[in-house]
Structure 1
Amino acid sequence: MSSHIEKQPGSPWIYAALAIFTVIIALLLGQWATFPNLAGWYAHLVKPGFNPPNWIFGPMWTLLYALMAYSSWRIWRLSSDVPGRSTALLLFYAQLSLNALWSWMFFGLNNPMAGLIDIVPQWLLILATIHAFRKLDAQAAYCLVPLAAWVAFAMLLNFEIWRLNG
């Protein structure tokens, strides 16, 4: 694991800024599609009994995005010639892109089916990212486990919303 892998030369602040900036961009892009649709379209959907209250989503996603940024920072800090680093980062940014896109497909298009089409491969990419990160840095991988669990729950919630409103 990471105990024997060399760290990237240079300031770790550069990699921290890169990790934080990209995660914040994904967060903002998702919010741009989500917030305008909460009070109108989403509020009128039939939701399953296990749907959490709306106030839980903000704190949960804030925590998950912070963990994603920290996790990717740990991988960015590794030397660029570490085998698997580039693939791991590619997987991370692919799942992050689908994360932001989900808000546009579900909320932006007002379409739970479109959300399902996004969230299934998103979850699979999260699992692949955890696997790739684990080979490089166990702590980075463990930081993504709550994301995998939450997105699995969100996938079930998305499915039930689609089923109840289809």
Structure 2
Amino acid sequence: MQVHPDRSAQGPTAREQYTPGVQVTGLAAFLGASAFVAWLGAFATVSNVDGWYLGADKAPWSPPNWVFGPVWTLLYSAMAVAAWLVWRSRSPRSRPALTAYGVQLLLNLAWTPVFFGLYPAIGTAALWIALAIIAALIVAVTVTVLYFGPISRTAGLLLLPYISWLVFAASLNIWAALNN
């Protein structure tokens, strides 16, 4: 009896790889999903950054508002590439990893309208709810890194700046909740 090694642990063979066209389409889909989340979040941000947030008491370590757009653009791009790397691996572990990715993307989407959009309606309570969301988001991204890393080390590493930024953003959120 001949024993065959578990190919799933080794990754797909050349024959099982996605074609270049499918890979480009997959990358475009992940980039598009990230851009869509960013675009939806921008609706709540745009009207409120120059509204209530302009006069809000912000943490002394808050960067100028113009920093957030470029940073988030880089982070959303890195997130999309990381998810694409996991998807294209065709690993049997990709499904739970991409599910974790989807959960964190939904939490990411939820934070912006709660923090920026709900504050005018319910005040400081919105900032505390947003803090709970960002705490859950940090946990979800950490879980995603733990799923991504064994499939693609690069994918796991691409999410580490995102976690760092989320922890930084959580510190800004805490300050805002305590001082507004």
TM interval, shorter chain, is over 0.9
Inter-CA distance 31–8: structure 2 relative to 1 (3 Å threshold) = farther
Flag the structure with larger Rg.
2
- Between 1 and 2, higher relative CO (CA 8 Å, sep ≥ 6) is seen in 1
Counterpart among 139, 144, 148 of residue 129 in structure 1: 144
Opposite residue 40 of structure 1, the aligned amino acid is: G
Instruction: Give the residue type in structure 1 aligned to 2:176.
Output: I
Write the letter of the residue equivalent to 1:90: T
- 5+ residue gaps, structure 1, are none
The percentage of aligned residue pairs carrying the same residue is 33
**In structure 2, C-alpha distance between the alignment counterparts of 1:147 and 1:72, rounded to whole Å:** 13
Letter in 2 for 1:22: A
1:101 aligns with 2:110: yes
Once the two structures are superposed, residues 96-129 of structure 1 have per-residue CA deviations (whole angstroms, 9 ceiling, x without a partner) of 1111110011011012112112100000000000
- TM (normalized to structure 1)? 0.92
In structure 2, C-alpha distance between the alignment counterparts of 1:114 and 1:104, rounded to whole Å: 11
Q: C-alpha displacement at 1:14, in angstroms?
A: 2.1
Of the three residues 156, 177, 180, the one matched with 1:141 is 156
> Unpaired segments of 5 or more residues in structure 2?
1-7, 120-125
Q: Give the CA deviation at 1:162.
A: 0.3
Cα deviation code 1:6-59 (max 9, x no counterpart)? 264332112112211111111111111111101111011111211111111011
Number of aligned residues: 162
Give the 3-state SS of the residue equivalent to 2:115 in structure 1: helix
Deviant stretches of 4+, over 3 Å: none
Counterpart in the other structure of 2:10 = 4
